[in-house]
Amino acid sequence: MSKYMVNLKINNTAIQVEEGTSILDAAKLLNFKIPTLCNHPDLSVAGNCRVCVVEVKGARLLAASCATPVSEGMEVNTNSEKVRIARKHIIELLLSEHNVDCTKCFKNGHCELQELASEYRFGDHIFIDLVKDRDKLRDISSPSISRDASKCIRCQRCVRTCDELQSVSALAVINKGDHQTISTFLNKPLNDVVCTNCGQCINRCPTGALYERNYMEEVWNAIYDPNKFVVVETAPATRVALGEDLGIDTGKRVTGKMVSALRKMGFNKVLDTDFTADLTIMEEGTELLTRLKRAIVDKDETVKLPLMTSCSPGWVKFQEHMYPELIDNLSSCKSPQQMFGALAKTYYADKINIKAENMVVVSIMPCTAKKFECNRSEMRDSGFKDVDYVLTTRELAMMIKQAGIEFDKLEDESYDSILGESTGAAVIFGTTGGVMEAALRTAYEIITGHEVPFTNLNIQPVRGMEGVKEASIKIKNTLPDWNFLEGVELKVAVAHGLANAKQLMEVVKSGKATYHFIEVMGCPGGCIGGGGQPIPTSAEIRKRRAEAIYAEDMGKTIRKSHENPEVVEVYKEYLTNPLGHKSHELLHTHYKVRKRY
Amino acid sequence: MEQKPLKKIDIIFGWDDKCTPIQVVEKTIKKTAENIILDMIDSGLKGRGGAGFPTGLKWKFCRNEDSDIKYVICNADEGEPGTFKDREILDKVPEKIFAGMTICGYVIGAREGYIYIRGEYNFMLKTLQQKIDLFNQQLHDLKVDFRVYLRSGSGAYVCGEESALFESMEGKRGEPRNKPPYPTVAGYNSKPTVINNVETLVYTSEICRMGPEQFKALGTSDSRGSKVFSVSGDTPIAGIYELELGMPLKDFVEEFGDGDSKAIQVGGASGHCVPRKKFNDTIIGFEGIPTGGSMMIFNSSRSMYNVLHDYLEFFTEESCGQCTPCRIGCQQLLKGIEAVKKGERPPTYLDDLKRLTATMKIAAKCGLGQSVANPFTSIVDNFREEIIY
């Protein structure tokens, strides 16, 4: 259907836009900024904060510009006297309901309400302070996400995020009027409900009502402790986003500066989760081939296919709650973070002659669910807590600032060795489709002895931001060991964001799917859009981060996990072979069925 | 201004054995939909829920929408404080409602009609359902492709707001939607929907029974016909009365007051408070003060501070809570008059609050938040000393 064009005037400037465009978006095209709070580019339109009201000539009411489509001949004023008075009232009302505790707030400097308040420079508050029980409204039960209802402005972005993007609905609106609030099921602690800890709500909360449980002090204390040997690992997606919180443009890679900053902060060794991402490919790729062999050659009907990735702890917990019947389809591989921790406190500790009990493993993650994951009781295979503390990209940026490091002036530095080497295949773990692409690069070559038949190894069908992607590769000219796969069309699917994952799981559950391998990342865009990444987020921002990831991949000399020399070395020296005895002990795990209520 | 003396009417609750509601349906659907719409427009009937949208136009808009599925909804979520007339209609002459819905369905092209009844009226669900079943059987016998269904609310005032009502019917939280789109374009299940008040639907079937002439002979040019009033408060004869529209409030007070009336709250908690000095020049109708039917009479023993305080408590609790001006605005108004009363804020704070209500009136998402200004300003302006001292 072709779009009609509509003519209107905004602040006396004529403009023509497509029918259906909101006044807000039309105003943006003319560079008139209308403030918003409940509006978010990733979410449906709510129109409930009313900060974006504008005056439409001839209308009795002001119009919420985010929710009002343009119409022919409309004359809009975005800054009339009525609008300004209403907007000031609305901001002041919100402040009267908000625990204005800015200097102590985790979101200080990143709060959209604070920004609006500072634009309008209110003197005294007109209205009466309505915040009750300001200290009783905190929920710090979750190791990942903290809530402070006294800061909540009821914009419902978190509710829409949890429902629309993640189809989890751990947060919902309850009650009405002055008792209306955002709540978990039966107002239980966040840690006791279906929350997957993905942190997408944090990324979209305009205030400090939702924030990560932070472990900055614990990490500083470990660094200062002379008896501790503090090892840090960095996830693939942090290096393409950290700069955003430190004054560097979106989409700029800061790998070398990040390494340098971590060293200056006092970490004893700066290592890379990418190393264990490569290792994951070895283990998970072998697991896939083993399951295929059991299914095709042994005709074993108990084998669970499709195999599903398990790197994303938000996705894993989602599966444990929502699809317990598919729990055995999850790869038994731990996530790269946890593989790293388990190896660091065993193999690596031995190598560098440090006692595991004196080693502290800190990971820098784009993720809040990783904080939960490192606390899972299964994650102690080294005999200790494999990963001690997880910091988000945002926490790391804060610590860099606290340390007085001028980030943009840092020289690039390289990771320490060993456990610091990685390939392009590992880097792309950070974006949706990346694990799949990395796995295919390796698996195809193991099976056939040839590289995957895609230009520059870039498997385009699994790339991009479509919610659910499908691809297939016909396997030809297999090596003798893999003859049973000759002519097989390997079918894969990729989903990112749990709402898309749910859609895919419903297909799998219905039995109509013929996939062999499925990659799911809990967050929109994969880890680059993770719940621990710099705020704000949008499709455009995630796209730029993804481009940076692929650029990092292209810049690597080695781009296939099985060619990572340190990975080859660790098998030779310690693990022997993928899915071997040691691997099982340290690198694999199991899952538990969790209730939904 | 055109006005009519107070006159009691007997249309709504009257019963014509020669032309029962099902017979009205039988007779009316022999006409074309266009002619029925013309009759409705000609009658001058405006919505009786309070907003007063011309019924014929609403039906016409919905008829013009292109959709296989459309709905007729009877808004029986009678939640406005001081209103209890729909309850009586539902109890005494529900067949007239069903007839109005069926005719509307015929006009707009809907096959399903729903009565959304407030949760507090659940005691009548059983008998109402029996009457619906009987009526549906009669429709079946007449080969009319339309059925009436019953849905129960859960007691939220805001669900009387039409788009919140749809949300509630769809099984969601009762929260008003953004408009546009309006119900005639996208209502229940996002399909074109006519939603009319109980009383409006009865008048539509009565207009079909007796013709538009008889209806429009009543009332004034802006307010045609009669209306059912719920009279309560300081009156010796509280109850339900059908009166011709366009009467001066003075007549009303003389008829229903106790001789000591100091104020009438016209239109319920969300309506306007008219003080004694304005009884003479206030007309009850769309040209004066419109009302969904609630008329609360206060005599001089009443504290208007308490009256306003009660209303504000009501709105503070019954706001759905989604939009800022309503959720927080109501709380501020309530706390604000308390603070003025206690001397914690100066009397001039009432003017700050009035400015806030002006914002609420134009910036709140739905009629609930927009109308809180009505009782607030009319009580504060007319009884300021009672609020302060």
pLDDT in tens, A105-147: 999 999 999 999 999 887 877 899 999 877 778 999 999 999 9
Among the CATH numbers 3.10.20.600, 3.20.20.70, 3.40.50.150, 3.40.640.10, which is that of B226-299?
3.10.20.600
d(C-alpha A398, C-alpha A247), whole Å: 12
Closest CB from B180, B321, B323 relative to A69:
B180
DSSP conformational letter for A194:
S
Choose among A94, A70, A98: nearest CA to A3. A70
Angstrom distances, CA of residue B203 to CA of A166, B12, B13, B97, B212: 48, 7, 11, 9, 10
pLDDT in tens, A377-433: 999 999 999 999 999 999 999 999 999 999 999 999 999 999 999 999 999 999 999
A285 burial class (0-12, 13-18, 19+ CB within 10 angstroms)? buried
Non-local CB neighbours of A245 within 8 Å, separated by 6+ positions:
A393, A394, A397, A398, A534
Say whether A90 and B335 touch across the interface (CB within 8 A): no
Residue type, B175: E
Judge whether residue A1 has pLDDT over 70. Answer: no
Chain B nearest C-alpha distance from A364 (Å): 37
Chain B nearest C-alpha distance from A35 (Å): 14
Choose among B221, B163, B237, B226: nearest CA to B195. B163
Same fold, A128-211 and A214-597: no
Sheet holding B193-197, edge to edge: B147-152, B112-117, B71-76, B193-197
Chain A neighbors of B356, CB-CB under 8 A: 89, 93
Question: CB of A22 within 8 Å of any CB in chain B?
Answer: no
Chain A nearest C-alpha distance from B361 (Å): 8
pLDDT in tens, B98-144: 999 999 999 999 999 999 999 999 999 999 999 999 999 999 999 99
Say whether A156 and B322 touch across the interface (CB within 8 A): yes
Judge whether residue A527 has pLDDT over 60. Answer: yes
What residue has token string 């109890």?
A: B91
CA dihedral A327, A328, A329, A333 (to 10 degrees): 100
**A331 among known catalytic residues:** yes
CATH architecture under which domain A5-91 falls:
Roll (3.10)
Every domain of chain A and the residues it spans: 5-91, 128-211, 214-597
Write out the residue limits of the CATH 3.10.20.600 domain(s) in chain B.
Answer: 226-299
Q: Which pLDDT does position A137 carry in this prediction?
A: 81
Band of residue A2 on the pLDDT scale cut at 50, 70, 90: low
Q: Could you count the other beta carbons within 10 Å of the beta carbon of residue B170?
A: 10
Chain A nearest C-alpha distance from B349 (Å): 9
- Tell me what percent of the residues of chain A surpass a pLDDT of 70: 100
**A569 among known catalytic residues:** no
Non-local CB neighbours of A439 within 8 Å, separated by 6+ positions:
A281, A284, A285, A288, A517, A519
Question: Which of B167, B317, B328 is most worth mutating to test chain A (most A CB atoms within 10 A of its CB)?
Answer: B328
Choose among A525, A524, A508, A527: nearest CA to A516. A508
Tokens of B233: 């408060």
Tokens of B347: 């009397």
d(C-alpha A305, C-alpha A317), whole Å: 19
Say whether B355 and A130 touch across the interface (CB within 8 A): no
Average confidence (pLDDT) per 10 residues, chain B, 389 residues: 92 96 98 98 94 96 98 97 96 98 98 97 97 98 98 95 97 95 97 98 98 96 96 98 97 97 97 97 93 95 98 98 98 98 97 98 97 98 97
- Chain B positions contacting chain A at CB under 8 Å are 156, 158, 173, 178, 180, 315-325, 327-332, 335-336, 339, 352, 355-356, 358-359, 362-365, 370
* Residue in A287, A320, A421, A566 annotated catalytic: A287
CATH architecture under which domain A214-597 falls:
3-Layer(aba) Sandwich (3.40)
Instruction: Give the pTM.
Output: 0.95
Question: CB of A125 within 8 Å of any CB in chain B?
Answer: no
Instruction: Look at chain A and count its residues.
Output: 597
The ipTM (two decimal places) reads 0.95
- pLDDT, mean of residues A555-576: 96
Q: Are B369 and A62 in contact (CB under 8 A)?
A: no
- Please report, for chain B, how many H helices and E strands are present, in that order: 16, 11
Angstrom distances, CA of residue B236 to CA of B14, B233, B244, B258, B293: 24, 9, 21, 6, 18
- pLDDT, mean of residues A358-371: 98
What is the fold of A128-211?
Answer: Alpha-Beta Plaits (3.30.70)
Buried b or exposed e, range A317-328, using 16+ CB within 10 angstroms: bbbbbbbeebbe
Q: Could you count the other beta carbons within 10 Å of the beta carbon of residue A196?
A: 30
Residue type, B287: E
Bridge partner residues of A489 (DSSP): A474
Non-local CB neighbours of B118 within 8 Å, separated by 6+ positions:
B76, B77, B78, B79, B152, B153, B155, B159, B160
Judge whether residue A3 has pLDDT over 90. Answer: no
Q: Give pairs for A485-492: CB < 8 Å, separation 24+.
A: A485/A292, A485/A296, A485/A447, A488/A292, A488/A296, A490/A440, A490/A443, A490/A516, A490/A517, A491/A515, A491/A516, A491/A517, A492/A436, A492/A440, A492/A462, A492/A516, A492/A517, A492/A518, A492/A519
Q: Are A422 and A414 in contact (CB under 8 A)?
A: no
* Residue in A212, A284, A320, A421 annotated catalytic: A284
Question: Sign of torsion, CA B150 B70 B54 B206?
Answer: negative
Sheet holding B261-266, edge to edge: B239-244, B226-233, B294-299, B261-266, B272-275
Non-local CB neighbours of A147 within 8 Å, separated by 6+ positions:
A138, A139, A190, A209, A210
pLDDT in tens, B35-72: 999 999 999 999 998 889 999 999 999 999 999 999 99
- The CATH superfamily of B21-216 is NADH-ubiquinone oxidoreductase 51kDa subunit (3.40.50.11540)
Q: Does domain B304-388 have CATH number 1.10.150.20?
A: no
Q: Are A517 and A306 in contact (CB under 8 A)?
A: yes
Q: Are A561 and A441 in contact (CB under 8 A)?
A: yes
- pLDDT, mean of residues A188-213: 97
Tokens of A337: 């973070």
SS3 annotation, A323-357: CHHHHHHECCECCHHHHHHHHHHHHHHHHCCCCHH
d(C-alpha B253, C-alpha B298), whole Å: 10
Q: Could you count the other beta carbons within 10 Å of the beta carbon of residue A509?
A: 12
Bridge partner residues of B244 (DSSP): B226
Bridge partner residues of B266 (DSSP): B272, B295
Chain A neighbors of B352, CB-CB under 8 A: 126
Say whether A93 and B178 touch across the interface (CB within 8 A): no
